[in-house]
Amino acid sequence: MIAARIIGHRGASSLAPENTLAAIRAAAEVGVSWVEIDTRLLGDGTPVVHHDECVDRCTDGTGPLSAFDRVTIRRLDAGGWYSEAFTGERIPLLAEALALVRDLGLGINLELKADGHSSDQRLVHAVLGELRAAAIPSERVLVSSFEPAALNASRVQNRELLIGCLWSRLPPHWRRRAAALGAVSVHCDWRYLTERIATAVKQAGFDLYCYTVNDPKAFLPYRDWGIDGIFTDRPQDFLGGGQAAGLEEQPGGAKG
Ligand code: G3P
Ligand code: MG
C-alpha cells in the first residue's frame, strides 16, 4: 500500500506543463506526497519523462522521441506551449526527475509507456537502472503500465518492486492477471468503474487507484467505494478542500 490518496498526475499538470520538473515541483508545493509521471526511451536508449510517442503536442519540436538523443532533446522547449512563464522547461531525463522526487521527499508512480515491442525490455532495463541509481526508498516507488510484459520484466529484474496493473476498463480475468504479475494495486479509468468492480478489487486484496479525477464534486458518489487514491491534474482542488472528495490526506501523507 502506498502512502498517498491524492497523486499528482504527470506532476501537477494543471499548474505547470505536464511531465516537467516544474510540474513535479508544483505538485510538491500544493502538498501532494506522490506524483505519477510517464517514461519512454529516446533513440539512444536514455529514459525521459514524456507521455506521447512524439514530441509535437508538448514541445516546440516535431517527430518521435526515438529521433532524439540526450543531447538533441535538450534543444526542445517543453514549457512554452503551456504558457510563456514556463518557456525554457525541458523534457526531463528520467534521472533528473527521480533526483528531484527524491530530494523533495515525494513518492513516485512511474508509468512505463511500453508498446509491446522488443524495445520494452530496453525500457524496463534502463528505468530500473535509473531507479537503483536514484536510491529512492522502495516503499516510495510504484511501477505501473498498460503493458503486462513490461510489468513482468520489471518484476523479474527486481522482486521487491511495487507493481500496479493499469487498465482503462478492467478486462476479463483481471484478478488472475494482476495476481500473476504480483501486483499490489489496480489502476483504472474512473469513468468505467462501478461500485461492484471497486468492491471486487478491494476484496481481492489489491489497492485501487483511479485516473484522471479532476472534479471533486463528480467524485462524491465514489467516496465510499473503498478507492485508495486518485490521479489528478488538479491536486490543489482535492487537498485542503479534500473533504469534498472524501480522500483527504492524513498528516505526513499516511492514510487513515
Ligand atoms: O497512470 C494513470 C494514467 O496516467 C494513465 O493514463 O494516458 O494519462 O498516462 P495516461
Ligand atoms: Mg500516465
What digits encode the pLDDT tens for the residues 114-145? 988 878 999 999 999 999 999 999 999 999 99
Give the nearest ligand 1 atom to 36 CA.
1
pLDDT at position 50 is 98
- C-beta of 111 in contact with ligand 1 (< 6 A): yes
Q: How far does residue 184's CA lie from ligand 2's centre (Å)?
A: 17
Q: How far does residue 97's CA lie from ligand 2's centre (Å)?
A: 15
Longest dimension (CA), the chain: 49
CA-nearest residue for atom 1, ligand 1, is 111
Distance CA 142, CA 45 (A): 22
Residue 174 above 60 pLDDT?
yes
C-alpha cell, 116 = 509491446
Ion ligand 2: residues, Cβ under 5 Å: 38, 111
C-alpha cell, 29 = 508545493
- C-beta of 130 in contact with ligand 1 (< 6 A): no
For the CA atoms of 31, 33, 37, 41, the dihedral, rounded to the nearest 10 degrees, stands at 130
Residues above pLDDT 90, as percent of the chain: 90
Least confident of 94-108, 129-143, 160-174, 240-254: 240-254
Q: Which residues are catalytic?
A: 9, 51
Q: How far does residue 133's CA lie from ligand 2's centre (Å)?
A: 22
Please say whether the structural domain 6-55+92-239 has been given the CATH code 3.20.20.190. Answer: yes
- C-beta of 51 in contact with ligand 1 (< 6 A): yes
pLDDT at position 3 is 65
Could you list the beta-strand ranges (E) of 148-243. 162-166, 185-189, 207-211, 229-232
Q: How far is CA 105 from CA 33, 34, 40, 207, in A?
A: 8, 9, 23, 22
pLDDT at position 254 is 37
Distance CA 186, CA 202 (A): 9
Distance CA 148, CA 96 (A): 26
Q: Which burial class, exposed, middle or buried, applies to 57 when counting CB atoms under 10 A from its CB (0-12, 13-18, 19+)? A: exposed
Question: Could you please report the per-residue DSSP string of 95-152?
Answer: HHHHHHHHHHT-EEEEEE---SSTHHHHHHHHHHHHHHHHT--GGGEEEEES-HHHHH
- C-beta of 211 in contact with ligand 1 (< 6 A): yes
Amino acid (1-letter code) at residue 164: G
User: What is the three-class DSSP state of 176?
Assistant: helix
pTM for this entry: 0.94
